[in-house]
Amino acid sequence: MTHTFEVDHRSSARHPPYEIVRTPRGRVASAFEPSPNQHRALAAALRRAIKGEVRFDNGSRSLYATDASNYRQVPIGVVVPRTVDDVVETIKLCHEYGAPLVMRGGGTSLAGQGCNVAVLIDFSKYLNRILSIDVLQRMAEVEPGCVLDHLRDAAEKHRLTFGPDPSTHDHCTLGGMIGNNSCGVHSIMAGRTSDNVEKLDIVTYDGLRMTVGPTSDAEFRSIVAAGGRRAEIYQAMDELRRRYGDLIRERFPKIPRRVSGYENLNELLPENGFNIARALVGTESTCVTVLKATL
């Protein structure tokens, strides 16, 4: 299933994008410094567009400036969406204004994954429901802000569980676990989060919504034949696995806890079913935003 929203490319003339200063070699030289006017305009547009909380005040920004790491990155502003539509609308507006994004679950990341000079979307307050548990299939559908222990408590009533269990299990969210490819002590038996992800509903920064998972050859051909942005993305990933497949097979370390970020490119290989969902696990909200997970 795919949905897109219209991006008004003319709008960048109305809202000049946030400026990024780069070194001659292309690295970001300074933090994004939106002007107070850009701040206010984006906050006002968000307040008009969504039902959730738009918190661009200094107190909220400072509350979300840290996670469990040593980093402090003051966000441009904080959005606490009430609905999936709020998330999609927020991303649409951030794209329109050129504002970067960072997602937030429980904020227990140890290496600064959950903070940035960006618009921060907090899933934990409202988008935290278990949508279904299919006992026969041993599968659950959750919103990204669902706390791991809430899912485990519900699953245990059916003598089921979710194996990966970081020691922050009573606070960390499934969205955050997907962002970090979290493990925990039982992952030795049950695998990492990526090994337990079946499908993801995602949205890209430019507004493409899709459900991703393993992709058969027939599915790939039909996606390409349909054309458009989705086809472009799938073709780019196909090209990536063709170009680097042998290097990935040869050089990716074969260790049970390979969780170094972008570590799941091997999931794109044909022998692993061209699994886009699992390849995205561990990308720390830098590639897509997860709207729903099937685990």
- The interface region with ligand FAD, picked from 16-24, 38-46, 168-176, 264-272 by CB under 6 A, is 168-176
Q: How far apart are CA 105 and CA 90, in angstroms?
A: 17
Phi/psi at 84 (nearest 5 deg)? -60, -35
Structure tokens at 249: 């097979």
**Residue written as token pair 């606070």:** 171
Q: For helices 84-97 and 36-49, what crossing angle results, to 10°? A: 150
- Which residue from 38, 73, 90, 173 is in contact with ligand FAD, where contact means CB under 6 A? 173
How many residues in the shown chain lie near ligand FAD by CB under 6 A? 32
Residues of span 229-288 touching ligand FAD by CB under 6 A: 284-285
- Which residue from 43, 99, 151, 172 is in contact with ligand FAD, where contact means CB under 6 A? 172
Residues of span 99-128 touching ligand FAD by CB under 6 A: 102-110, 113-114, 123
State how beta strands 119-122 and 77-80 pair: parallel
Q: How far apart are CA 286 and CA 272, in angstroms?
A: 23
135 binds ligand FAD (CB under 6 A): no
- The residue among 140 and 269 lying less far from ligand FAD, judged by its C-beta, is 140
Q: Annotate 219-238 with DSSP letters as a single string.
A: HHHHHHHH-HHHHHHHHHHH
**Residue written as token pair 């886009």:** 276
Q: How far is the CB of 287 from ligand FAD (least distance, A)?
A: 8
- The residue among 65 and 224 lying less far from ligand FAD, judged by its C-beta, is 65
Site residues, ligand FAD (CB under 6 A)? 67-68, 102-110, 113-114, 123, 144, 166-168, 172-173, 175-177, 179-180, 182-184, 284-285, 289-290
